[in-house]
Amino acid sequence: MRDVAVVGFAQTPCVRETDGTTNGVEMLVPIFHEVLGSLGLTKSDIGFWCSGSSDYLAGRAFSFVSAVDAIGAFPPIMESHVEMDAAWALYEAWVKLLCGEVDTALVYGFGKSSAGQLRRVMAMQLDPYVVTPLWPDSLGLAGIQARMGIEAGLWDERAMASVAAQSRAAALSNPLAQLSGSFEVDDLLAAEYVVDPLRRHDCAPITDGAATIVLAAGDRARELCERPAWITGFEHRVDSPSFGTRDLTTSPSAVAAGKAAGADGIEVAELHAPFTHQEILLRQALGLGDDVVVNPSGGVLAGNPMFAAGLARIGEAARRVHDGTASKVLGHATSGPLLQQNLVCVMEGRA
């Protein structure tokens, strides 16, 4: 089996609202230029294109087809799409490279959450018979999970607030972040509940944005990148969609994906945790000790472009290998309600 590495990464600024369309073209064109330009590539050097996005977020059918305009798909390209976070599109592209069909792939995700009402749109991913007709909103569901963990003694509101404070402090060094700054935990705790027991700082912001990653195999990766982030473990697992059936204070699928991908010896981890308590839960599920640097970018609490945020976690982690600040990193992505589905990508630099 040949080796595949993340060799390039670019993302848009995370912003509350863009003027662009919901098909993402305005966000994608500049980051395609940035990532291809940084590698000295043009579109004809890319063997496979794969994207992640959602028509429910866009409010229009086949929005990903319009997005292909950003590529300039003539002569015809080899292209695929997942109606999920683009981290799963990265998985598809990785498999394509492992099979030896192509040597390079460009993966992208985009979302303009500001176009609709994100809390309601997220109800469309729930069980269509017994859950969606009630229109549970994403904050309401996360609040139940947060309280269960609080009452089980796994975390408390102070620990949740310190996750938010750490995220925003880390994001001070991330020029693309939406939320950053120095915050005292006590000040954060003085805020009103948005959805008891969640305060505003416990919830990822509503963000428009896009991200892209370039994968390359073997010698092609070594040609393109001084320190490729070689993928040594890439796994995703899923729990039952019936969340009343499972123990919400943990995530068996995150535990299983972490174990299978080999999460030992990680130096830096970027976790896709849209709520503060979920970062604490995921640290535990993935067995990340206090010596692991978690979310140096600020994570999704500092900017959460739907359907791109998980891919961006892998890109942010890979960047620590590219710039030589870490030699083994982990990128995580989640999908579905309450950490139902989890993906772990472990990457290593080699001397």
The residue ranges that bind other proteins (CB under 8 A) are: 19-23, 25-26, 29, 32, 43, 56, 59-60, 66, 68-74, 114-117, 119-121, 124, 128-137, 139-148, 151, 193, 195-198, 240, 242-246, 248
- Report DSSP letters for 251-292, one per residue: -HHHHHHHHHHT-TT-SEEE---SBHHHHHHHHHHTT--TTS
The answer to whether the bond into 75 is cis (omega within 30° of 0) is yes
Task: State the Cα–Cα distance between residues 167 and 151, nearest whole angstrom.
Answer: 24
State the nearest-atom distance from the C-beta of 4 to other proteins, in Å: 25
36 vs 330, beta carbon nearer other proteins? 36
**Token pair of 331 as six digits:** 């990128």
State the nearest-atom distance from the C-beta of 43 to other proteins, in Å: 6
State the nearest-atom distance from the C-beta of 216 to other proteins, in Å: 20
State the nearest-atom distance from the C-beta of 139 to other proteins, in Å: 8
Lookup result for tokens 């969640």? 198
Residue 165 burial by CB count (10 A; 0-12/13-18/19+): exposed, middle or buried? buried
State the nearest-atom distance from the C-beta of 126 to other proteins, in Å: 9
149 vs 296, beta carbon nearer other proteins? 149
SS3 207: strand
177 vs 339, beta carbon nearer other proteins? 339
173 vs 242, beta carbon nearer other proteins? 242
Q: Which residues, including other chains, have CB under 8 Å from residue 12's CB and lie 6 or more apart?
A: 27, 30, 31, 176, 208, 209, 210, 211, 305
128 vs 181, beta carbon nearer other proteins? 128
68 vs 159, beta carbon nearer other proteins? 68
What is the distance, to the nearest Å, from the Cα of residue 72 to the centroid of all Cα atoms in its chain?
Answer: 26
Q: Which residues, including other chains, have CB under 8 Å from residue 141's CB and lie 6 or more apart?
A: 243, 337, 338
State the nearest-atom distance from the C-beta of 273 to other proteins, in Å: 17
Task: State the Cα–Cα distance between residues 10 and 231, nearest whole angstrom.
Answer: 18
State the nearest-atom distance from the C-beta of 265 to other proteins, in Å: 31
71 vs 285, beta carbon nearer other proteins? 71
Task: State the Cα–Cα distance between residues 240 and 234, nearest whole angstrom.
Answer: 21
